[in-house]
Amino acid sequence: MSRAVFSAVIRGAHQFVGEAEEAWKRAVDEHGESAPLKFPETAFSLPMILALTGREVRTLADCEPVLKHCRQDLLHEVPADRVWLPYLGHGLDAGAATMFAQEILCAIDYLNGYQPGDGYLGFLTDTTMREVGIQLVDGRMPGFAAVLGPAPDNETAVKIVRELQKRNILIFPVTNRDGRTMKEQLDQEGIQTGWETYIVPTGPRTRDGIFVLDWAVRSALTFGGLKPGSFQQILQYSRDRVFAFGITFGSIPDDWYALGAGAILMGYPVISDSADTPEVRPTGVTTYEALVRETDYDQLVPTCIEVRGVKVTVEEVDIPVAFAAAFEGERVRREDMQVELGGKQAHCLEYLHTVDMEAITDGDIEMVGDDIDDVEVGAATNMGIEVLVAGREMQEDFEGILERQLHRYINHATGVMHIGQRHLVWLRISKIAFEQGFRLRHIANILHAKLHDDYGKIVDKVAVRILTDQDEIDKLTEAARATYRQRDLRLAGLVDEEVELFYSCTLCQTFAPNHVCVVSPERPGLCGAYTWLDCKAAYQISPQGCNQPITKGRTIDAATGEWEHVNQFVYDNSNRTVEHYCQYSLMNHPMTSCGCFECIICIVPEANGVLIVNREHGGMTPIGMEFSTLAGQVGGGVQTPGFLGIGRRYMLSNKFMSYEGGFPRIVWMPKDLKEEMKEDLEARAEVLGLPGFVDKIADETIATDGVALVEFLQKVEHPALAMESLLG
Ligand code: SF4
Ligand code: ZN
């Protein structure tokens, strides 16, 4: 490592450790040694220190040995006599010291009441770590970039961000130079930031960079199922599995160097735009080079991708606006909108169905009625989107699955917002997209290209009709409604006993190597995204893929849902860690959880029932743990009797922990979840002959601890109290 880099890293590390020591002393004087230290909504305290040293820091007192370790073991002096060091060792130690010091500094900030500024996220919660985890898993997001800026000017900031978004790379802008930040530059250019647009500013200070690394290291712990303290494995996992890199704009100050050394320790290379930056190119710690120069802004992002080995596919669709998954979450606000299709004021539907091979020509696009050129600005109008597909491998069962992709595809166009499905679609097209030439007929181009891309195996021909003519829309609506009804009946009528095959889903093994979802008609995958029909279709589309058929084999126990072949399959596919597996039980060999569950079920022994908490709920539950803490207990691909990650619709199933009595065991769930699912929950209670049951389920407005919960349950005579003991 060149001496200049080395000295800068070490100076930066000294600076952070010094600051942390001082902040710590002041905090101890002010709050006392036993004052609690923690970041909001995480089960990992403090994540980087925990991951790399195995030490839990929960109070100010716990920091002392960590700071000593930094000072005594990790901070070295710059050797005066050598120009070049053959390895990175001491520089990486300084990177570790920097990360620990920054983490302590930020935790003390929170102890002192720190609030991230407007539009900044500060510490990134476990929930977001998991939510984004699924996107990394399903390939929507190939990696992430920490950008140390500001960029030299607003134009470059926008350019680089757009280049990264186009490739669906998550962007974390951090640091400032003379008070100016990249976030400010993006704000000035009207670029939306936030998780939805893949631009996540954690804070304007250099130390706020630790929030990004903290986020990355928790995914190693969570999805990799790695133990705190096993630093070699964690660093290796993060190097091999988390495709991240750093970008620095301008000459690099010492504190950025120190942060960069932390990133390099995690296996993330840093790419600098400055001609003065000395390169560091030994390989081994990072997959490729560690510190690389790229002064040409056109080449900056491609260089990053090459150096880090990120696998990206840029989607090429012939439309006048940019197209990528990173634009999926972009909203079109009313003031920015050219026209609206559907929504409250109008009607819009989408309907995909199969036709005979001879009936269509591939690529046929028909516009029936006028496009939006003459629609008044800001007005709402009606539309129908009819997609006709044909293919030798196409089956009716796939129609619903393909149709559900329309939402994603259409949203990937910048300046186009799509909400809802079937006959309840709501689309907005922004003024900017309109000015750039986007028209309704381009929706057809998108759908034609993407259906071929993703479903080329089953779809040979795709034709699209865009309808604004009212008679045509009415005709389409009638036909579509009949089909929607049939589709619902088909899945609703399927029961586990009547199918020969279940399907596996091992998509999440990228992150939770031992996790297998067993998906049956009456039990969807725990992310809620994969039903039995989805898996069946996915298997036919790619027979070598993550969804494999499982024959049941000899029944070991029909009540718990244990079968010989299913056991064998789960054993073989969980790296031989899960020997028994029961499809219908919470307490006996339940399904493992990867990390992407929509909800967690958890036993409440004193209530003889279970609570269900969804990911969106931030508050406390009656068992004394928030969702994020529970998620830490459940995830990682291990069986945890009494705890289970589930897709929310599973609670309506006949096979919902049926071995333990199922639905009537539910004693608590967040109010919002109860409201959202009210109709379905009530229908289910009706079927079970439990009228009024839903009102007997407590929520956070009734109880957030066990005592209050049981009191309420007794008052309303909740059926769980009279059921057989859950603990057996
Ligand atoms: Fe992951 Fe299971 Fe969903 Fe498949 S079904 S994506 S394994 S959570
Ligand atoms: Zn998962």
Q: What is the pLDDT of residues 384-411, one digit of tens each?
A: 999 999 998 888 878 888 898 898 899 9
pLDDT tens per residue across span 121-151: 999 988 888 778 656 655 567 889 999 999 9
pLDDT of residue 279: 83
Q: Which of 442, 466, 489 is the last residue of a domain?
A: 489
Return the residue whose CA atom lies nearest to atom 4 of ligand 1. 505
- List of residues 6+ apart from 63 with CB closer than 8 A: 20, 24, 37, 57, 104
Please name which ligand lies nearest the alpha carbon of 526: 1
- Hey, which of 477-491, 548-562, 618-632 has the most confident mean pLDDT? 548-562
Q: How many residues does the chain have?
A: 728
| Side-chain half-sphere CA neighbours of 367 within 13 A | 11
Does residue 17 belong to any structural domain of this protein? yes
Whether the Cβ atoms of residue 642 and residue 603 lie closer than 8 Å to each other: yes
Instruction: Kindly list the protein residues whose Cβ atom lies closer than 6 A to any atom of ligand 1.
Output: 505-508, 517, 525-527, 529-530, 594, 596
Going from the Cα of 162 to the center of ligand 2, the distance in angstroms, rounded, reads: 29
Residues 108 and 135 both lie in one domain:
yes
Alpha-carbon distances, residue 194 vs 134, 414, 595 (angstroms): 17, 16, 22
- 360 vs 282: which has the higher pLDDT: 360
Whether the Cβ atoms of residue 582 and residue 560 lie closer than 8 Å to each other: yes
Does residue 319 belong to any structural domain of this protein? no
Rounded mean pLDDT of 282-293? 68
pLDDT tens per residue across span 196-236: 889 999 999 999 999 999 998 988 887 777 889 998 889 88
Rounded mean pLDDT of 491-517? 86
Q: Which residue has the tokens 């939510």?
A: 131
Q: Which of 489, 521, 549 is the last residue of a domain?
A: 489
Going from the Cα of 156 to the center of ligand 1, the distance in angstroms, rounded, reads: 39
DSSP for 236-296, written as a single string = HHHHHH--EEEEE-SS--HHHHHHHHHHHHTT--EEE--TTPPPB---SSSSS-SEEE---
Please name which ligand lies nearest the alpha carbon of 507: 1
Residues 474 and 509 both lie in one domain:
no
Give the nearest ligand 1 atom to 535 CA.
5
Q: Candidates 527, 593, 598, 648: which one to mutate for ligand 1, based on the most atoms within 8 Å of Cβ?
A: 527
pLDDT of 82 above 50: no
pLDDT tens per residue across span 532-575: 988 888 888 778 888 999 999 999 999 999 999 999 999 999 98
- For residue 471, the one-letter residue type is D
Residues 259 and 339 both lie in one domain:
no
As a 3-state breakdown, the chain gives helix, strand, coil percent values, each rounded to 5, of 45, 15, 40
Going from the Cα of 134 to the center of ligand 2, the distance in angstroms, rounded, reads: 6
SS3 214: helix
Going from the Cα of 537 to the center of ligand 1, the distance in angstroms, rounded, reads: 15
d(CA 482, CA 489): 11
Residues 610 and 659 both lie in one domain:
yes
Instruction: Identify the H or E element spanning 109.
Output: helix 89-111
Kindly state the tokens that stand for 317. 């669709």
Please name which ligand lies nearest the alpha carbon of 517: 1
What's the pLDDT band for 318 if we cut at 50, 70, 90?
Answer: confident
The CATH number for 362's domain is: 3.30.1650.10
Tell which residue, 14, 64, 16, 57, has the closest CA to residue 39. 57
Return the residue whose CA atom lies nearest to atom 5 of ligand 1. 525
What's the pTM?
A: 0.64
Does residue 728 belong to any structural domain of this protein? no
Among 150-154, 250-254, 526-530, whose mean pLDDT is lowest? 526-530
* Cα 320–Cα 322–Cα 328 angle in degrees, nearest 5: 125
Q: Which residue has the tokens 């269509």?
A: 360
* Cα 72–Cα 76–Cα 81 angle in degrees, nearest 5: 150
Residues 207 and 151 both lie in one domain:
yes
Give the nearest ligand 1 atom to 594 CA.
8
Going from the Cα of 68 to the center of ligand 2, the distance in angstroms, rounded, reads: 39
d(CA 70, CA 714): 55
Among 61-70, 178-187, 286-295, whose mean pLDDT is lowest? 286-295
Going from the Cα of 535 to the center of ligand 1, the distance in angstroms, rounded, reads: 10
Residues 455 and 572 both lie in one domain:
no
Going from the Cα of 574 to the center of ligand 2, the distance in angstroms, rounded, reads: 14
d(CA 2, CA 303): 21
Q: Candidates 505, 548, 634: which one to mutate for ligand 1, based on the most atoms within 8 Å of Cβ?
A: 505
Going from the Cα of 507 to the center of ligand 1, the distance in angstroms, rounded, reads: 6
Give the nearest ligand 1 atom to 596 CA.
8
Residues 296 and 350 both lie in one domain:
no
Residues 611 and 477 both lie in one domain:
no
Return the residue whose CA atom lies nearest to atom 8 of ligand 1. 527
Residues 283 and 231 both lie in one domain:
yes
- 297 vs 289: which has the higher pLDDT: 297
pLDDT of residue 83: 42
Residues 503 and 383 both lie in one domain:
no
Return the residue whose CA atom lies nearest to atom 3 of ligand 1. 527
Burial status of residue 691 (CB atoms within 10 A of its CB: 0-12, 13-18, 19 or more):
exposed
Residues 408 and 377 both lie in one domain:
yes
Q: Candidates 138, 506, 508, 600: which one to mutate for ligand 1, based on the most atoms within 8 Å of Cβ?
A: 508
pLDDT of 650 above 80: yes
The CATH number for 207's domain is: 3.40.50.2030
Please name which ligand lies nearest the alpha carbon of 515: 1
Q: Give how many domains the chain has, as a whole number.
A: 3
- Structural domain harbouring 125: 3-308
**Main-chain dihedrals φ then ψ at residue 402, nearest 5 degrees:** -65, -40
Give the nearest ligand 1 atom to 526 CA.
8
* Cα 275–Cα 280–Cα 281 angle in degrees, nearest 5: 115
Rounded mean pLDDT of 347-374? 94
Please name which ligand lies nearest the alpha carbon of 138: 1
d(CA 164, CA 200): 13
